[in-house]
């Protein structure tokens, strides 16, 4: 800065105090101003004590300060404004105006009591209103721990020690410190655009002591030799261009602990010998910068500890340079002191150095981190941290690795693992990263994979398994099934190695047991309705066909290789019939099916096999019939009890255990046949005799109960009549009629009765009424009592009825003998002859009503038919 003038706006002649000379300027900003301070030459020292600032110093013709007492006297007299004029070496000017200004007297420590509103373009740097004045020998600032006048090497109205002009802080780019009095560099830490600070060569010791403890974004350079040996500060975001004055001559560049994110080739001095970029935000270098470092590798030292590299795989210059740096770890630091700097090359994704002999880089996006250890003749798995950022891939192709690490690989965040052309013989699940997506194990010595490993790799997005000596061991059935699904050629090669077979039934898995040497054809759990039509023909073949839908094994089953089977496992199917079995069978498992028996041919075949060689059978869980008709099957199970290994668990269809049964339980001892025949004959004869004796009574009872009517009802012939029955009786026995009406008309048969008290018309001749009733009835019932025998009309009714029945064969005469009528010899000749030659009913018979109802005309009456009920008055 060239000129600093401070003015008070007032007429130069307006001061009414004791006279003292002042400098007036009427050319600045219009009206005249009293100049209270002026500084344009560094030769006058302004770093003075309290007394000098009280009385003033300097000459009005040059640089001076008017004095605090005089300044108080001037500002007290009337209202003043403060005007500050700034001018740089190039003639550029700035100003700051405050419309009011007043300081108090010495007793008040020259307190700045009034400071008006700011206008101008120099920036508002006056933030000290109500603050006392301080010098290096009198500390009146607001700070309790700091002496601002000493720290700032100047007297002022200090509040705090760090107030600066924001305009100057934001715009100052270059600073020449050619001052008689040295300053503290720490005051320039907030100057964001300040790039270069130059100082005199004789001040180098002074500034060198401050460099390590000051955070700045500028290069501090010696004016004499033009070399910038030190970089000051945290916060530098960009290096100057080499076109900056003096910058291209830099040989040692210390830019550690800053915020740099990149370095361009035009930002590196041509003769650079030392570059310290420690603890910046740099993750990569431009290929041109890397080429520059490679070319000057012998003459240029790069210190880069604290940098976490994200080097692109295409940036070969940087990759090669980082490889060279891995060989160097310690360097001499600047200053005369000897320091050791850890210059280890660290990578961002692994938060440490790249594994020995490997190359670390990012491919495409920053997340695709690759650790390339291919073709390095490695015999052991490299040490890796558990947590690797991004989507890391490890390339270990073309090495001599025999086994993978088991210490921490399972917890690793690796996404891809490439192990092509190594000497791996096995892989365990804890050797595979849990986040793995791609696995390449081609061209190794792996013969099989555990089931849990197979299950894990089957879920990966990409797996390469070819060109391994896979074995078809039954320990590795899952990997064989996986090979068949994803790489049929490898599966067929594995099958040929162990059985000289090139194929296996579709959907089935073929393998060989290591201990028993059995060749297993596993077609279980597939829901198949029948056995595959072609099976591999080999020794010790075993077919596992469990948990399917097989229903029969009959003679129509034509299966190539079926007779060569040594073992046949058919558990959990729906078998109901077996007619054929392999000729070489040694084990048959037919548990948990729907079998009820085995036919004779199968039983004979199994019996022969059990006599010729060892035979094992399992039959439990079926619905075996345990009846006498299957006694031969029962005997078969008893005879082959040693061969049937689960006989103690085998149950009949009715849940009885086979082992608890004997033949007598199925077929009890037979009774002689002739005894059965004789007993049956006797029982039949008795039944027939009983029926013969009681047939009529049975039929009567059934008819009376209206049971089996089609069997017991008699078909009535003849013409239809008005009445079913004419009831003939003596008028003295009319009290007997009501029970007949109740039983016959109102009973189940509902017959139509005719008797004189109800049905004869008054005034008609009795003989005519009797004749009319007999003619219009199918049956005549005579209630033969003593009164009836004494009655003339009774004998007439009997004769007419007898005459009518003789003329009409379908009419029926029924005589009911009541108590008291016993000697038929006393009857007249015609009645006596009839009773002796014809049957009659006795009223006192216990079965009287059944006999009577059955003897009367038969009728089939609907249940819903309504019969008129007539009450008979006795």
Q: How do residues 440-466 score in pLDDT, each as one tens digit?
A: 999 999 999 999 999 999 999 999 999
Q: For residue 26, give the 3-state DSSP assignment.
A: coil
Residue 17 forms part of a structural domain? yes
Residue 95 sits in a domain whose CATH number is 3.90.215.10
Residue 494 forms part of a structural domain? no
Residue 374 sits in a domain whose CATH number is 3.80.10.10
Which positions of the chain have pLDDT values less than 50?
Answer: 1-4, 9-16, 180, 226, 229-232, 330-340, 863-874
How wide is the angle at C-alpha 25 spanned by C-alphas 19 and 28, nearest 5°?
150
Residue 811 sits in a domain whose CATH number is 3.40.50.10140
Residue 212 forms part of a structural domain? no
How far is residue 272's CA from residue 262's CA, in Å, rounded to a whole number? 17
Indicate the pairing of strand 101-103 with strand 112-115.
Answer: antiparallel
How far is residue 701's CA from residue 684's CA, in Å, rounded to a whole number? 23
Residue 2 forms part of a structural domain? yes
DSSP string computed for 555-594: TT---BTGGGEEEEE--SS---EE----TT-SEEE--SS-
Q: Which domain holds residue 818?
A: 723-855
DSSP string computed for 491-534: HHHHHHHHHS-----TT-EEEE-TTT--EEEE-TTS--SS--SB
What dihedral do alpha carbons 474, 479, 480, 481 form, nearest 10°? 110
| Domain end position, chosen among 122, 143, 163 | 163
Q: Are 471 and 495 in contact (CB under 8 A)?
A: no
Indicate the pairing of strand 118-120 with strand 93-98.
Answer: antiparallel
Q: For residue 312, give the 3-state DSSP assignment.
A: strand
**Res 696: pLDDT:** 64
Indicate the pairing of strand 81-87 with strand 3-9.
Answer: antiparallel
How far is residue 22's CA from residue 66's CA, in Å, rounded to a whole number? 8
Total of domains in the chain: 3
Please classify residue 649 by burial: count the beta carbons closer than 10 Å to its beta carbon, then call 0-12 exposed, 13-18 middle and 19+ buried.
Answer: middle
Sheet holding 174-177, edge to edge: 174-177, 196-199, 218-222, 228-232
Residue 78 forms part of a structural domain? yes
How far is residue 683's CA from residue 676's CA, in Å, rounded to a whole number? 11
Tokens of 418: 């490439």
Which residues does 379 contact at the CB level (< 8 Å), separation at least 6? 399, 400, 401, 402
How far is residue 44's CA from residue 759's CA, in Å, rounded to a whole number? 172
Residue 184 forms part of a structural domain? no
What's the pLDDT tens digit per position in 167-197? 666 666 666 665 545 666 666 666 667 766 7
| Domain end position, chosen among 163, 189, 213 | 163
Residue 202 forms part of a structural domain? no
Residue 753 forms part of a structural domain? yes
């Amino acid at each position: 800065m060239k000129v600093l003038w401070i003015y008070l706006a007032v007429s130069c002649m307006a001061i009414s105090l004791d006279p003292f000379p002042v400098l007036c300027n009427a050319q600045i900003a219009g009206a005249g101003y009293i100049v209270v301070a002026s500084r344009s030459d560094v030769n006058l020292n302004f770093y003075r004590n309290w007394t000098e600032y009280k009385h003033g110093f300097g000459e009005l013709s040059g640089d001076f300060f008017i004095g605090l007492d005089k300044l108080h006297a001037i500002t007290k007299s009337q209202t003043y404004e403060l005007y500050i004029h700034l001018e740089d070496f190039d003639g550029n000017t700035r100003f700051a105006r405050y419309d009011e200004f007043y300081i108090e007297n010495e007793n008040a420590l020259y307190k700045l009591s009034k400071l008006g509103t700011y206008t101008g373009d120099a920036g508002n740097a006056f933030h000290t209103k109500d603050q006392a004045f301080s010098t290096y020998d009198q500390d009146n600032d607001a700070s309790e721990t700091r002496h601002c006048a000493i720290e700032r090497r100047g007297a002022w109205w200090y509040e705090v020690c760090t107030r600066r002009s924001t305009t100057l802080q934001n715009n100052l780019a270059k600073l020449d410190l050619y001052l008689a009095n040295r300053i503290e560099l720490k005051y320039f830490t907030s100057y964001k655009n300040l790039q270069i600070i130059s100082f005199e060569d004789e001040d180098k010791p002074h500034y060198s002591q401050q460099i390590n403890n000051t955070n700045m974004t500028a290069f501090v350079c010696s004016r004499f030799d033009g070399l910038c040996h030190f970089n000051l500060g945290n916060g530098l975001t960009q290096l100057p261009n080499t076109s900056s004055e003096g910058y291209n001559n830099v040989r040692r560049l210390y830019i550690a602990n800053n915020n740099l994110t990149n370095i361009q080739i035009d930002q590196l001095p041509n003769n650079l010998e030392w570059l310290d970029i420690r603890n910046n935000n740099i993750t990569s270098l431009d290929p041109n910068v890397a080429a520059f470092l490679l070319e000057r590798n012998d003459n240029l030292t790069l210190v880069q500890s604290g940098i976490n590299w994200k080097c692109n795989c295409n940036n070969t210059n940087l990759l090669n340079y980082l490889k060279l740096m891995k060989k160097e770890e310690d360097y001499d630091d600047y200053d005369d002191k000897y320091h050791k700097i850890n210059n280890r090359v660290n990578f961002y994704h692994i938060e440490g150095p790249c594994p020995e002999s490997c190359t670390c880089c990012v491919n495409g996006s920053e997340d695709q981190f690759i650790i390339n250890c291919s073709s390095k003749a490695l015999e052991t798995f490299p040490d890796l941290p558990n947590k690797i950022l991004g989507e890391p891939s490890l390339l270990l192709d073309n090495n001599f690795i025999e086994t993978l690490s088991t210490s921490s690989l399972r917890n690793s965040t690796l996404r891809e693992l490439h192990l092509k052309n190594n000497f791996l013989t096995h892989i365990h699940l804890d050797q595979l990263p849990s986040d793995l997506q791609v696995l390449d194990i081609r061209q190794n010595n792996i013969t099989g994979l555990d089931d849990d490993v197979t299950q894990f790799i089957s879920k990966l997005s990409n797996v390469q398994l070819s060109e391994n000596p896979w074995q078809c061991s039954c320990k590795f059935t899952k990997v064989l099934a996986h090979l068949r699904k994803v790489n049929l050629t490898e599966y067929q090669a594995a099958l040929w190695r162990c059985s000289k077979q090139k194929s296996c039934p579709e959907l089935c898995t073929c393998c060989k047991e290591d201990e028993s040497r059995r060749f297993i054809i596993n077609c279980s759990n597939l829901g198949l309705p029948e056995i595959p039509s072609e099976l591999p023909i080999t020794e010790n073949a075993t077919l596992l066909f469990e948990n399917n839908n097989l229903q029969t094994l009959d003679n129509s089953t034509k299966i190539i290789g079926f007779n060569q089977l040594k073992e046949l496992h058919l558990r959990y199917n729906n078998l109901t019939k077996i007619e054929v079995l392999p000729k070489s069978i040694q084990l048959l498992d037919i548990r948990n099916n729907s079998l009820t028996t085995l036919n004779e041919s199968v039983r004979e075949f199994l019996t022969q096999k059990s006599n010729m060689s060892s035979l094992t059978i399992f039959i439990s869980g079926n619905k075996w019939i345990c009846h006498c008709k299957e006694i031969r099957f029962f005997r078969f199970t008893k005879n082959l009890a040693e061969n049937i290994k689960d006989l103690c668990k085998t149950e009949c269809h009715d849940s009885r255990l086979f082992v608890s049964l004997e033949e007598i339980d199925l077929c009890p001892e037979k009774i002689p046949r002739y005894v059965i025949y004789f007993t049956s004959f006797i029982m039949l004869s008795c039944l027939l005799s009983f029926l013969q004796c009681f047939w009529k009574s049975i039929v009567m009872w059934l008819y009376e109960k209206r049971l089996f009517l089609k069997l017991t009802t008699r078909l009535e012939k003849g013409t239809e009549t008005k009445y079913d029955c004419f009831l003939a009786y003596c008028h003295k026995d009319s009290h007997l009629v009501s029970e007949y009406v109740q039983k016959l008309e109102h009973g189940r048969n509902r017959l139509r009765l005719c008797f004189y008290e109800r049905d004869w018309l008054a005034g008609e001749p009795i003989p005519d009424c009797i004749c009319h009733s007999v003619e219009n009835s199918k049956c005549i019932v005579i209630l033969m009592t003593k009164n009836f025998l004494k009655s003339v009309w009774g004998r007439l009714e009997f004769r007419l009825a007898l005459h009518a029945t003789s003329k009409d064969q379908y009419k029926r005469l029924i005589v009911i003998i009541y108590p008291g009528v016993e000697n038929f010899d006393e009857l007249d000749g015609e009645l006596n002859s009839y009773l002796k030659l014809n049957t009659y009913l006795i009223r006192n018979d216990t079965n009287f009503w059944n006999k009577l109802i059955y003897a009367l005309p038969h009728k089939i009456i609907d249940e819903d038919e309504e019969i008129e009920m007539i009450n008979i008055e006795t």
